[in-house]
Amino acid sequence: IVMTQSPLSLPVTPGEPASISCRSSQSLLHTNRYNYLDWYLQKPGQSPQLLIFLGFNRASGVPGRFSGSGSGTNFTLKISRVEAEDVGVYYCMQTLQTLYTFGQGTKLEIK
Amino acid sequence: QVQLVQSGAEVKRPGASVKVSCKASGYTFAGYYIHWVRQAPGQGLEWMGRIHPTSVDTNYAQNFQGRVTMTRDTSITTAYMELSGLRFDDSAVYYCARASEGLDFWGQGTLVTVSS
């Protein structure tokens, strides 16, 4: 499954919202009605960290300004109000097929 | 607390093999897959494969089939990733991660440099 993110670069003013799109070449909707799509953030110089799993569930400790939505082949990660600490590269990853695949990444920077 | 601690940086010649370890603690090692992900310099994340600590079920990405071997030693709660036939473009940071609901805990990464 090929994952395609857009945009690849996202300059955002602090306090403003941000949105990242992720599209999959095949539906990620399982028969159990869950979408097998996760979101990760890799801050500069750090290991990736889990933000969202199964499409919309926030991982433990993830601030409420992060939300995931979408179904099938189209997904969105939204940040309601960007903060300086949100800079880094955001990745979506499909987990429907056993051989997982990541999107190319979206680099969020502060204007 | 859950921790994944990886082995240190490696420098290898082209054609050699490298074996990276991932020591797990703070949870029941047997209950969760360990995944391996790599990141070449300035590039994105690339999923390599996964291993289940007890069933020894393994799945490898097509890009690494025939070159990667994932193993584990449950007695010391450690997972291993061995990559053979190293090429210059295998230079990367290699991460292990625990799979729960998502890859929820990650190791600190191991830098592997392939250089002649």
Q: Report CB contact under 8 Å: A60, B37.
A: no
Mean pLDDT of chain B: 96
- The reported pLDDT for the residue numbered A28 is 97
CA neighbor of B60 nearest in space, from B46, B74, B70, B72: B70
- pLDDT tens digits, A54-87: 999 999 999 999 999 999 999 999 999 999 999 9
Q: Which of B35, B45, B104 sits opposite A59 (nearest CB)?
A: B104
- Check CB contact under 8 Å for A89 and B44: yes
**What integer pLDDT is reported at residue B9 of this predicted model?**
98
Which residue positions in chain B have pLDDT lower than 70? none
Report phi then psi at B107, rounded to 5.
-75, 175
> Does the pLDDT of residue A109 top 90, yes or no?
yes
pLDDT of residue B75: 95
pLDDT of residue B56: 75
Q: Which residues does chain B have within 8 Å of residue A47's beta carbon, measured at their own beta carbons?
A: 95, 106-109
Q: Could you report the per-residue pLDDT of A2-56, keeping only the tens digit for each? A: 999 999 999 999 999 999 999 999 999 999 999 999 999 999 999 999 999 999 9
Query: Quick check: A97 contacting B, CB < 8 Å?
Result: no
Residue of A6, A47, A53 best to disrupt the B interface, most CBs of B under 10 A: A47
Specify the pLDDT at position B96.
98
Complete edge-to-edge strand list for the sheet that includes strand B78-83: B3-6, B18-25, B78-83, B68-73
pLDDT tens, residue by residue, A82-92? 999 999 999 99
B45 CB neighbours in chain A (<8 A) are 40, 42, 48, 91, 93, 102, 105
Which residues, 6+ apart, have CB-to-CB distance to B55 below 8 Å? none
Q: Is A95 left (phi over 0), alpha (psi -120 to 50) or beta?
A: alpha
**Would an 8 Å CB–CB cutoff place B66 in contact with chain A?**
no
Nearest to B60 by CA among B71, B47, B73: B47
Residues near A91 by beta carbon (within 8 Å), at least 6 away in sequence: A5, A39, A40, A41, A42, A48, A102, A103, A105, A106, B44, B45
